[in-house]
Structure 1
Amino acid sequence: MHSHALQYDGQPAELVLAHDITDRLQAEAALRHSEAEFRGNRPSQASGACMADAER
């Protein structure tokens, strides 16, 4: 949220700007939940992926 003091019709006024961050907060919560499920709720569990080239 931001606000700026200004004059409107010769009177002091405040211009206030607000941004709805609901979607961002919900996406962050969903990501935390997904990561916790991936780790099996055990942060020390090792995870990884391996790629192999059968022609070598």
Structure 2
Amino acid sequence: MSERERTEEIAMLTSPETVLDLARLHQKELIAEAERARLLAKARRGRRMRFARRHD
């Protein structure tokens, strides 16, 4: 890879549009991770409640 190609690639990766796209993607990933954590917590609560009802 030539110096010019390397410079162009760096410019492309650090362009405002690319940075904004990466930030949006990261935000979507964080939202999805929070949703998974919320659903797992809900499932755990349900299991605990069912277990507690059976053993009362």
Question: Which band: TM-score by shorter chain?
Answer: 0.3 to 0.5
- TM-score, with structure 2 as normaliser: 0.46
- Structure with more of its chain in strand, by fraction: 1
- TM-score, with structure 1 as normaliser: 0.46
Higher relative contact order (CA 8 A, sep 6+): 1
- Structure with more of its chain in helix, by fraction: 2
